[in-house]
Structure 1
Amino acid sequence: MATLRLVSGTPDEVLAALAGVLDGSGTPFAPLPDDAAGAARAEQAAAPDRPLEDGCAVVLTTSGSSGEPKGVLLSREALIASAQATHDRLGGPGQWLLPMKPYFVGGLQILTRSLVAGTTPVLLGETFTQSAAAMTGARRYTAMVPTQLTRYLETDADALRSFDAIIIGGASMPEPLRAKAAEAGVTAIPAYGMTETGSGCVYAGVPLDGTSILLDDEQRILIKGSTLFSGYRLRPELTAEVLKDGWFRTQDRGELVDRRLRVVGRVDDVVISGGVNVTLTTVQARLLEHPQVKDAVVLGVPDAEWGTRVVAFVVGEPAAIERNALRDWVSETLPRAWAPQDVIRLDALPMLASGKVDRQGLLEGVR
């Protein structure tokens, strides 16, 4: 069996290691985050001193936004298939700007697409506008998380408009943000996917070529295709639980609207609070419709009285996010029982390096 080496998670180191596994000259690797705690988690998940499963090119550590980080095994074939399918959907290969960390799948795939296309990726400099100006490709692409798009629409809208496509992943793209990007003339394409699917595999609700989706009786999203991971590092029981007959059983629920996939939330986003089923993502979406709410996340917290207490963490104008006012706002369109019992105002939602909200950190702060 092959051995696994650890590499620094800097763009140059990851690009060099990635080039080696894609052309067959290098050895499988696991990139380490640039913070000590993240590097320790990644090294533990990668287990470099243990024999490596066959066919693996890269081991990526999941962000751990809602649970224990896992080592995800990605093959050379899956990485290339994802890059090629992305270029086919976007209209052809191009040059990519890297505004995210390359030790997460979104950043890694920007580098993969660059290598497959034979183009030189541009790294994010002091400003997004300066970085965009450094690009020379006939077609120009980038990818980012919703939080970045929100910020750049305020400061770098002209630069955003210069890209042929901007893939938005890592978290769902709120409808107000989608509308704002469209109004600004920015081609922002919401993508659905995860580390286990080799990055985004569904663009604007439509699967990439080579990818199939299915909804089971619980509306759980199942995914099959050439970009799927091979399994979890040294976790055969967990691999067998989520990979069945070639289908990956995600933790997300969805629905098909005009033959397009709409992700409606995680399987565990429906909680029972006071005997009532509450869909947390629906409450969150309603809060984000408030004109003075800039960001929000809604979580269920174990509670002796309610079973699960619905807690909203909100960023916005202080007067607008007073508890009773927001409960009334939610109740205008949703059942009163869905209104959050607690509202916690924050200056900003805590984020992981992957661009996802640190849900575990928020939960630990209120338990």
Structure 2
Amino acid sequence: MFFPLGVRDFLDRAELVYGDRIAVIDELDQPAASWGSLTYREMARRARAQAAGLDALGVPAGGRVAIVSHNSARLLTSFFGVSAWGRVLVPVNFRLAPAEVGYIVEHSGADVVLLDPELDALRDTVTARHVFTLGADDDVVFGSTAEPRAWAGDESATATLNYTSGTTARPKGVQLTHRNLWLNATVFGLHTTVTDDDVLLHTLPMFHANGWGMPYIVTGLGGRHIVLRKVDGTEILRRIAEHGVTLMCAAPAVVNAALDAAATWDGEVPGRDRVRIVVAGAPPPTRTIERVRAELGWEFLQIYGLTETAPLLTVNRMRAEWAGHDPHEQARLLGRAGTPALGVRLGLAADGEVLARSNHNLDGYWNNPEETARVQEGGWFHTGDGGTLDDGYLTIADRKKDVIISGGENVSSIEVEDALSSHPAVREAAVIGIPDDTWGELVTALVVTDGSPVTPEDLIEHCRRHLAGYKCPKQVRFLDALPRTATGKVQKYRLREPFWQGRDRKVN
């Protein structure tokens, strides 16, 4: 018998088995009225109401619904209310500049846009037929009393369209199918041992690769979701203590925020011997891993993946075989990207690029068949990252594509260079990532001017008018010329060398 895999499976099981259990505790301090505590039965009811509301608006199966929101119970519910009845959810990074959001909405062809109240000004930027504000327009978005129109289900249908920065100036729409999301979430849940006793604190933005799949698997297994709207180290510790949090996913910058908060925490740090934290976005230093395990007493897990792989490719978790090693050596071993997750195959190209095959890999890039063919050449997904494989363990050693990872967010160097070059005083610009203990990498601009008087602060402010804040250079340095090859290509490796001297890995 064949039965299609679909994201609705997770919601249906939660409602059937755990209907009276608290599903989610919403952020209380937010501009929209908080939903407070919802049971899984109520969450499922609101998801059906959302689907019925989209029926009433005439949004067909396959229609795109964009949502630009901080973490919230409304966003969590939308992962099901949109996709489970055949539409395509487009979760948009709320940190993007208005022009960037406008491009994504237009490029995706979204019929509906749902906006966080803090982002209501985006109404002037987006082009969708229907634009609603979460909270203020809940009667339309989540208020229907009709039953949603049935959808037969198709595991090969696109469920989400996630836009990611790449090596081109424009973000690409990653098509992830119901099959991609179902298998990623289930395999992720197996490797991180999610159970119905788990309490997940959403320290990871839910828009980011669909919260890495945790909104689905924690729901399907009856765990509890704790919404954190904005990351703050002290607030993370407080909620761990208040709600009995057992599980978090985060970029290294969030780990550093928790460590900083723990230094001034009154009493024992909450979650010791209970919390496990899953880290990705950039390999953290060995010392950071040691501190998480010693100072916080949390279990440290590392994964590696990309939005294009839904994202899970590798997992690194403490093994019994390492019990005899000292804590520093254990942390060093945990600093590798990890071994292939169940169902994943890894390989290396001749130039060291990491290649992957899995059931999680993207179906394609939206309206971009040329780039789709390029990254899937030879039946492998080409990650653009360089690495090594030793005894089954992947270590990321260099980034083959010019994407800077700062605070867990991808920044296209070409996109930043384009913004810098629009300033009249800039003749040439090259953007690189340099190592930083807090953010992993700092976006750094190396600029050649036309001689006009201009300061680093002028150029950073100029970028802020064109880009999201996290993409803007944190440093600007002036050069007389950029090093180039005989064919005119900028030699970025020469620009990086002074900053990365003495380091084995060219990512941080």
Do the two structures share a fold, i.e. TM-score over 0.5?
yes
The size of the alignment, in residue pairs, is 301
Distance (Å, rounded) in 2 between the aligned partners of 1:118 and 1:15:
14
Q: Does 1:306 align with 2:471?
A: no
| Identical pairs, percent | 21
Deviation at 1:57, TM superposition (A): 0.4
Q: Distance in 2 between matches of 1:37 and 1:165?
A: 38
Q: C-alpha distance in 1, partners of 2:68/2:344?
A: 31
- In the alignment, what sits opposite 1:17? 78
Q: CA deviation at 1:37?
A: 4.3
Question: Which amino acid in 1 is paired with 2:180?
Answer: A
1:100–1:107 Cα contact (<8 Å) kept: yes
1:9–1:162 CA distance, 2 compared to 1 (3 A): farther
Q: Deviations over 1:165-190 (max 9, x none)?
A: 21111222223322322332321212
Q: 1: distance between equivalents of 2:442 and 2:248?
A: 26
* CA deviation vs aligned residue, 1:53-77 (integer Å, no higher than 9, x gap): x610011111459843111111112
Matched, 1:252 2:385: yes
2:207 to 100, 103, 106: 103
Deviation at 1:197, TM superposition (A): 0.7
Question: Is the 1:17–1:26 Cα contact (8 Å) retained in structure 2?
Answer: no
1:78 is matched with 180
SS of aligned partner of 1:102:
coil
Change (3 A) 1:296 1:241: closer
Displacement over 6 Å in runs of 4+: none
Report which of the two structures shows the higher radius of gyration computed on alpha carbons. Answer: 2
Residue pair 1:122, 1:134 contacting (<8 A) in 2 also: no
TM-score by length of structure 2 reads: 0.52
CA distance in 2, matches of 1:208, 1:241: 24
Pick closer, same or farther for the CA change 1:156–1:213 going to 2, 3 Å: same
Distance 1:91 1:67 in 2: 38
Asked if 1:154 corresponds to 2:331, the answer is no
For structure 1, the residue ranges without an aligned partner over 5 or more in a row are: 270-279, 313-325, 336-355, 358-367
Q: CA deviation at 1:4?
A: 1.4
What secondary structure sits across from 1:263 in the alignment? strand
- SS at 2:301 equivalent: strand
Identify the residue that residue 144 of structure 1 maps to in structure 2.
Answer: 250
Q: Does the 8 A contact of 2:176 with 2:363 survive in 1?
A: yes
SS of 2:224's partner is: coil
SS of structure 2 residue aligned to 1:239: helix
| Letter aligned with residue 189 of structure 1 | L
Q: Which residue of 2 aligns with 1:229?
A: 362
CA 1:135 to 1:58, structure 2 compared with 1: closer, same or farther past 3 Å?
Answer: same
CA contact (8 A) 2:204 2:250 kept: yes
1:268 positional shift: 4.3
Please tell me whether the aligned partners of residues 142 and 163 of structure 1 are also in contact (alpha carbons under 8 angstroms): no
Q: C-alpha distance in 2, partners of 1:91/1:108?
A: 15
Which of the pair is proportionally richer in strand?
1
1:55 corresponding residue in structure 2: 157
Distance 1:71 1:89 in 2: 27
Could you tell me whether the CA contact under 8 Å between 2:91 and 2:210 is conserved in 1?
A: no
TM-score (norm 1): 0.70
Q: 1:160 to 1:149 in 2, by over 3 A?
A: farther
Counterpart of 2:85 in 1: which secondary structure?
coil
Q: Distance in 2 between matches of 1:63 and 1:133?
A: 36
Per the alignment, residue 132 of structure 1 pairs with: 240
Counterpart of 2:74 in structure 1: which amino acid?
A: E
SS in 2 for 1:121: strand
Quickly say closer, same or farther: Cα 1:300–1:156, change in 2 above 3 A: same
Contact between 2:248 and 2:278, CA under 8 Å: does it hold in 1? yes
Aligned: 1:69 with 2:171: yes
| Matching residue's letter, 2:377 | K
1:122 and 2:233 are equivalent in the alignment: no
C-alpha distance 165-246 of structure 1, shift in aligned 2 (>3 A): farther
CA distance in 2, matches of 1:122, 1:305: 48
2:249 and 2:210 mapped to 1: Cα distance?
7
TM-aligned CA distance change 1:261 to 1:199, over 3 Å: same
Q: Is the 8 A contact 2:194 2:218 kept in 1?
A: no
Match for 2:353 among 182, 201, 220?
Answer: 220
SS in 2 for 1:210: coil
Q: Which residue identity is paired with 1:18?
A: F
Q: 1:102 Cα deviation (Å)?
A: 1.4
